[in-house]
Amino acid sequence: MACARTAAQKNKHISETTAMKDSYFIEKETLAEGERLELSSLLASLNFNSDGLIPVITQDADDKQVLMMAWMNADTLEKTLHTGLMTYWSRSRQAEWIKGKSSGHWQQLVSMRIDCDGDTILCQVNQTGAACHTGRRHCFYFKVSAEQQEVVINSGLS
């Protein structure tokens, strides 16, 4: 019969696992431009959070506008790479969702980048229709003015 791990043991395991994964990316810091890595090794070294998720910033491949931020788990990341369709994990519904499947506002993967720590993904996409569930082109329409101490609804990014 297996023993249940204590919270301290689980936290120690998470810390050790994170340290091993961090070392993967630290070792790669000195690689020269153009060197190649095995994709499966990099994916296995990603730093998912304690819920098994990693943040994904989605950007329009043509105009570079940031469209949205969402989450992926290991399965939705693999599905995105396999199908070329952006597939995310919905924290509220606790289910995967393929962007555009219900709305018709598809996101086709053009390129994917992993940040230097392996804890954030940047995807450039071809966006069909609105990226935001509100029908706006992007999700960042609350424009904060620190000077005026107010927020303006602004779908443009100027």
Binding residues for Zn(2+): 116, 132, 139
Q: Residues within the annotated binding site?
A: 115-117, 119, 132, 139
Q: Residues within the annotated binding site for Mg(2+)?
A: 115, 117, 119
DSSP label of 5: P
Kind and range of the H or E element at 77?
helix 74-83
Burial class (CB in 10 A: 0-12, 13-18, 19+), 127: buried
98, two tokens: 């393929």
Strand partners, 148: none
Evaluate whether 83 touches 96 at the Cβ level (below 8 Å): no
54, two tokens: 């990693």
CA-to-CA dists, residue 58 to 4, 86, 121, 131, angstroms: 39, 9, 8, 9
